[in-house]
Copies of this chain bind each other. A is one copy, B any other.
Amino acid sequence: MKAYGKKTWIVPEGYIPKGSNGQAPEMTSHESISILNTSDKKANIQIYIYYTDRDPIGPYKLSVGPRRSKHIRFNDLTDPQPIPLVTEYSSLIESDIPVVVQHTRLDSRQAENALLSTIAFGTN
């Protein structure tokens, strides 16, 4: 299987809303990236979080198995440290083999949820 995609992905928009309406965990306000690894090898991923007024934090390390999809909520990243809510950030996602990354947010602060999504900016 071919390894489709790029090794570096960037998501400038980052913000985890505080407060949710609806049943957890589906309707919990969250921000996520979805990663597809089409190859026959494990993809080793490193995420760096950039802030407006302090140095970037990372790497957050994880992996995506061969021929597997993984959806990661930024809310769930804890090592080296959680991402604070209601805080503007950007993210850089690096992989040792090509993958494809999409950014999504579900915002349920108000009674009805809102969604946004975009393919991230990929480069090598």
Which residue numbers of A lie inside 8 Å of B, CB to CB? 4-5, 8, 10-15, 17, 21-22, 26-27, 33-36, 38, 50-53, 55-56, 67-71, 86, 88-90, 92, 100-123
- Which residues on B sit within 8 Å (CB–CB) of A33? 12
A21 vs B111: C-alpha distance when bound (angstroms) = 12
Least CB distance, A65 to chain B, in whole angstroms:
8
A86 contact set on B, CB distance < 8 A: 26
Closest 6 CB pairs of A and B: A69-B90, A112-B112, A36-B90, A116-B117, A12-B34, A12-B102
Residues of chain B within 8 A of A53, CB atoms compared: 68
CB of A44 to closest CB in B, whole Å? 17
